[in-house]
Amino acid sequence: MPFHLALYSASIASVAANVQLAAVADPVLAPAGSGFLVPPVINKIIRVIGQGNLLNRAQLNSASIRDYTPFDITPVNVGTAIETPVKELWLNDNPLPLNVNEEIDCFVTNSGAGATQTTVGVVFADGPVSLVKGRVFAVHWTITTTFAAHGFTNFTPVLDNGIPSGTFALVGSRLNSATALFHRFIPRGGLPYRPGTTSMQAYNQGLNYDERQCYMGEWMRFTNTTTPQIEAFQLAADATADGFMYLIQVA
């Protein structure tokens, strides 16, 4: 099942309701105003995660959404990190449908007047999640680099150990760094979509456990010679990160 993580993020200094967040530049989704154009194929939303120091709620809006009412998201992650468990909206079995090429925008309501970076992750997909089964194993990786603040930084993960010859399905992921919020994978060939999820800032923080048990289905496939790159979105210029890829060998 193809899916793609996109982000909206900005420094918000107003306590007024429905302040618009700007879309983070994305190589897969075309920009439209301060939002994105809904892409073909992956024109449904299966997951929304809001994070901000003063965040009360997030809201998605588009022409087709307005046929009903603006789509509010709560609970959200309040603070400078994604909470444990993750506060988010799951629509895996009943995705939110959108019209291809309409503009999809994001708005937030904060509870204080001080400027604070606020970020909302939206996962686009082609339909409900199809669960996968198989023997899952974890591959640990590390990286030392200079991360950008409030933007994506791409890198090639350095695996602790080589993986066997063959083809693998990526079915889950974890990334840890000092100010991490989100990360996604860049395929080497195949579909252009960049599947991703939340990141963690401490080793005792945990993802929703199902995310490491194939609950998001199959993210992508790659061979032992075409390991994907990773893009990480941080709050500050972290210098190191590490994490795990959860894999099933399929060939």
CATH number at residue 109: 2.60.120
Residue 132 lies in a domain: no
Same domain, 8 and 106: yes
**Token digits for 204?**
């005792």
- Report the number of distinct structural domains present in the chain: 2
Residue 152 lies in a domain: yes
Q: What pLDDT shows up at residue 214?
A: 64
What whole-number distance in Å separates Cα of residue 70 and Cα of residue 101?
18
Which pTM value belongs to this model? 0.95
Residue 130 lies in a domain: no
Is the predicted pLDDT of residue 120 greater than 80, yes or no? yes
Q: What is the mean pLDDT of residues 99-103?
A: 98
Residue with tokens 């799951």: 90
Regarding predicted confidence, which is higher, 42 or 85?
Answer: 42
What whole-number distance in Å separates Cα of residue 221 and Cα of residue 164?
14
If you count DSSP H runs as helices and E runs as strands, how many of each does the chain have, helices first?
Answer: 0, 21
What whole-number distance in Å separates Cα of residue 3 and Cα of residue 171?
12
Q: What mean pLDDT value characterizes the chain?
A: 93
Q: What pLDDT shows up at residue 212?
A: 53
Contact between 10 and 97 under an 8 Å Cβ cutoff? The reply is no
CB atoms within 10 A of CB 46: 25
Q: What pLDDT shows up at residue 207?
A: 61
Burial 223-237 (b: 16+ CB within 10 A, else e): eeeebbebbbbbbee
Is the predicted pLDDT of residue 14 greater than 90, yes or no? no
CB atoms within 10 A of CB 135: 7
**DSSP calls for 155-194:** E--EESSPPPSSEEEEEEEEEE-TTEEEEEEE-SSS----
Q: What is the mean pLDDT of residues 41-61?
A: 96
Same domain, 81 and 187: no
Q: Which residue, of 99, 125, 151, is where some domain finishes?
A: 125
Quickly state the pLDDT bin for 159 (edges 50, 70, 90). Answer: very high
Is the predicted pLDDT of residue 208 greater than 60, yes or no? no
Q: What pLDDT shows up at residue 17?
A: 80
Q: What is the mean pLDDT of residues 148-172?
A: 95
Residue 131 lies in a domain: no
User: Domain residues for 75?
Assistant: 3-125
Is the predicted pLDDT of residue 209 greater than 60, yes or no? no
Q: What is the mean pLDDT of residues 91-118?
A: 93
Same domain, 18 and 75: yes
**Residues forming beta bridges with residue 232, ordered by sequence position:** 153, 183
79: left (phi over 0), alpha (psi -120 to 50) or beta: left
CB atoms within 10 A of CB 180: 25
10: left (phi over 0), alpha (psi -120 to 50) or beta: beta
Q: What is the mean pLDDT of residues 150-175?
A: 95
Quickly state the pLDDT bin for 125 (edges 50, 70, 90). Answer: very high
